[in-house]
Amino acid sequence: MLERLKEYKELIAIIAFFLGGFFWLQSQYPSKNDVKDEFNSIRCQLNSYMKLTQLQILNQELEKQLNALKLQLASVNLAEAGGSASAISPAMKLEIDQMKSDFSSVRNQLGQTTGEMKKIRDTLELGSCGKAGL
């Protein structure tokens, strides 16, 4: 049996060499499915980061609106405290009530966007999209 293997040792070496090269190529370079998985992972991460960026921009705008409404309400409160409360017309009272409701709605929106941003950050930290890195 050994004598027969000695006759084919060159052929066996060539086959082993090419099989080793084939398995090395399979492990070294990604397959089509690996590339698709990586692409989907990167796409998921990109979508999450884009949504996070949009929410951050919206959050900044809401903070600006909240500060503007806060200043308006503070100036109205100063005018009321200054003794001119009797001079406020019913239309002004409606406008003040509208500003107060706008203030509370903007504050609620700010809380919602902050919560959504926290959720997205948590999912990105946990790696729910998968890790990219072929």
| 15 falls within a domain | yes
| 132 falls within a domain | no
Question: Residue 90's domain spans which residues?
Answer: 38-126
The more confident residue out of 6 and 110 is: 110
| 6 falls within a domain | yes
* pLDDT above 60 (res 36): yes
| 57 falls within a domain | yes
User: 134 falls in which pLDDT band (50, 70, 90)?
Assistant: low
User: How many domains are there within the chain?
Assistant: 2
Is 21 in the same domain as 68? Answer: no
Taking residues 54-59, what's their average pLDDT? 97
Is 53 in the same domain as 113? Answer: yes
Structure tokens at 62: 């809401």
pLDDT at 106: 94
Is 54 in the same domain as 20? Answer: no
Is 68 in the same domain as 90? Answer: yes
* pLDDT above 80 (res 80): no
Is 15 in the same domain as 74? Answer: no
Structure tokens at 68: 């503007």
User: 104 falls in which pLDDT band (50, 70, 90)?
Assistant: very high
Q: What is the dihedral of CA 23, 28, 34, 39, to 10 degrees?
A: -160
Distances in whole angstroms, Cα of residue 99 to Cα of each of 69, 71, 109, 119, 126: 7, 11, 15, 30, 40
Structure tokens at 11: 């052929």
90: buried, middle or exposed (CB in 10 Å: 19+, 13-18, 0-12)?
exposed
